[in-house]
Chain A
Amino acid sequence: MPEQMRSRGRIEVSPAAIASIANQAVLTCYGVVGTADRDLAAGIAGLLSPDSKRGIEVHVQDGQITIDVYVIIEYGTRIAMVAHSVMNVVKFSVERALGIPVAEVNVHIEGLRVSDID
């Protein structure tokens, strides 16, 4: 659990809290239409449900935060660009909220939503 030392005591942040922040950030990312479970079959239900944190995994090891994000991306967007934007936005949002550096954000594209074929 990452912690920050303060003169009056200790502040601990749980991975679940970090996941909430990350989830909120992911959903504002352009091109992301939902988060998904690691297993796509179970993840369909997670589509378009903004409260779900199932698509975010937070690992803390030796004080290093690693965040894995499982997303569904809109078909027809440039996926590499969207993924980069997810990395940036998640890292920025978590670091701004916690003041603790995020070591890694890994973006896993679990599926594409095809809304229309052009």
Chain B
Amino acid sequence: MSARGPYRLKERADAVPVEFRFDGRALRGVEGDTVASALLANGVRVVSRSFKFHRPRGIFSAGVEEPNALVQLHTGVHGIPCARATLVPLTTGLEVASQAGWPSVSFDVLRAIDGVHSVFAAGFYNRTFMWPSWHMYEPIIRKLAGFGRAPTGPDPDRYETRHAHCDVLVIGGGTAGIKAARTAAAGGQRVFLVEQHEDFGADVSTLEALPNTQVLARTTAVGYYDHDLVALAQGVAGGGGAALPRERLWLVRASRVVLATGALEQPLIFSNNDRPGIMLAGAALQYLRRHGVAPGREVVLATNNDSAYHTARELRLAGVNVVALVDSRESAHRALLQEMRGVGIAVHGHCMPINTQGFGALSGVTIALLGGKGASNLRRLACDTLLVSGGWSPTLHLFAQAGGKLQFSESGRTFEPVADAPRIEIVGSAGQIPRGELGERVSRVGNTARQWVDLRHDVTVSDIELAVRENFTAVEHIKRYTTLGMSVDQGKLGQAPAVEVIARARGIQPAELGHTTFRPPFVPVTLGTMVGRSVGALYAPNRRTSLYGLQAAAGALFEDFGEWQRAAAFPRPGEAREQAMAREVQRIRHGVGVYDASPLGKIELIGPDALDFADRFYINNLKTLHMRRARYGIMLRETGIIFDDGTVVVLDADRVLLTTTSSGAGRVAAWLEEWRQCEWPQARVVVMPVTDQWATVALTGQHARAIFERLQPGCDVSNEAFPHLGFRATTLFGREARIYRVSFSGELTYEINVPSDQGPQLWTALLEEGRSFGIGPYGVDALLHARMEKGFLHIGADTDGTTVPDDVGFGKPAAAKLRHYIGKRSLQLPENMRPDRLQLVGLAGERAAALPVGSHLRLADSHEATDGWVTSAGLLSTNGTPVAIAMLRAGRRQTDRSVTVHDGGRIVTTARVVAPLFYDPTGGRMNA
């Protein structure tokens, strides 16, 4: 007996005690314990309740296959639900809670369900809870489900991702894995060796010290993906908090993989094989060897193979009271029997447990002699611990994930590889399957409704029999019908006996059964670990122009437009966004403003074929373009759908400048490049995206010329010298500058491009020069409103993924251009020529109410559910009347007709169809 727990048989002299709490009880373990070993040391028998029947459950294993000891760690933002007590290292102050049982895990009123368990057999919810409706029962069932609670807030820890390449990835740090790693490393290969647990099977310090090796403990290989990419989840020692990440995800590309993943011990299946105190024999041995903990006071072992004998002997020699060993085989090796005699353990050969006793925890086991008709010669053994060993199944999940085929073999009574996988080697106990050595492991007698095959989900042999009885015979059907293997352990525990149960129920050989698909992750992986650093502010890039800082200083309200963070407006303190927008529109219309247009896409086409190449993409004829005169152009996809718009300028004989929409910059450049490389490689042209290289500031308003003149004293900036749609390549601040006279707002505008690092200088200079004119910045909202008043197309707002040129009034040029430009042929498809298509129109509200963007429209005589919708809208800057741009069925034929405007299920106003142009119809202001 030890102060570190009544079941602690031995401990190191320098063992550091660790205080923790379980369900509020203060307990003590030692450094190096897992939560499970500490609980066992303290004699905690019941750690949870089963899912359906709320039966008490104890710790069953010592590893990843644990189905019962799933606990909640901590609460609040540090909470971790469904932690496996068998894997969690014990740390000081750890708060551990069982996740089940009301009022407590030791006394759960819902165990009453167990009394009527046959009502709740597999599939019961398919057959009932229908009347009067599922909605009545569902809330209760939903509340009862789930283990553990999600944390209550954002994760205080962070997670990292590492990418690596290696020649050999060895998975499993037991002796076989270490040997494989040493061999490969000695040969000069780059080697990774990973081990799930804290400790390796042998000393790895020399291996670790080599320059060509990476040795990782607490690291589990969780997924095997295409082309030998393996994902590893690493628990970082001392991780969590600010200093270190809590976990790391390694994505390792290996040339070769060695699976030294060992084998999982299988349980035996018999009636009441789920009581607290029943555990895997190998697990008990691990608790003894690693932690000096005895599994119980009076221990019986039940087995069908040799390994349990060695376990029994070791336990006994360590001081555990092993009462008996029960072997389902007719006879074991003489040497083993002698061993048992030598340590005074009674052996019951050709016997198997057929039932156990103990309401709250195990109190005894009934064994029976096998052979003949079954349950003759019964015997009861009093015990508080029953260690079961049903044989060992190689852990081949990763092999299967990699596409390796497995088949259940008769001789090995487990799944084995059908063939080798080209780059995977299996070593150690994962690669050795003892043949013909196993005895019975599934009882043939007893109440099958009390024989558990899946401890977590309370799936019994009778459930499987019921599934088969109802013709759910395929393995996949049985799994889904009974929920066998669908819980947190994903069927790791007991896959081999389960196969034998299914085969027996179906009356076939186990080898005829397949298996369900092995999928990642091998063990559950924290979502944060999968994601790594792409959280919070780093979830998406923050793409800013060189003018971001100046705009922020001016009080800009930023929003994400496409990929860029742009100023939507510049509200004054206390001003709402809409008010700022209205004020800025007035500034555009009556004063002068500056606008950051830097995200506007800019692409240079360079080469003798530049203009001809560009001409293949636009609906507009570019061949007639004069030097240094901008032309507005629309680009289509091959399907005829409007893809982007912008301007085209011929700079000189072999240089053409394109502008695109801001969100289209990358898309259009990639599009041009794709066609160049794949379809027209003979074109002598280079596509050079230069969006980021230039900062663009739009100087807009009736005073723009005066201010521009101050920037370039002595230059002729008259309307004759520099008309609307003109282009000038010049210098500003000593460097190259490109200036367009284009207008999206409908006012006189100079779009001034300077190298992006000079953007702030340009912005500041304009504000300075324009001070006496009351210059100020305006944002995207104001610009979009101004352009709406002019009826200028806004791709993505007025157009969507169905809009063709004729819909928005560009049908004529699209048809007139005879070249086989991209999209042209599609414009001739019947659907794109229908007269009742949605067409761009203007709307003038007939009442005072604004026209909501997104409201739908109906014409008086319509038979359709909807006749279109409002795509942009606002109050006209000149007189405050509500106006809108809309897409309306056969819109161009509906001029002067009235439409009803629908929003939220009601008619909110009516409007008159007009031309989509509400301001300065002759364009005099922007042509000035």
User: Do A and B form a real pair?
Assistant: no
B residues touching A (Cβ–Cβ < 8 Å)? Answer: none
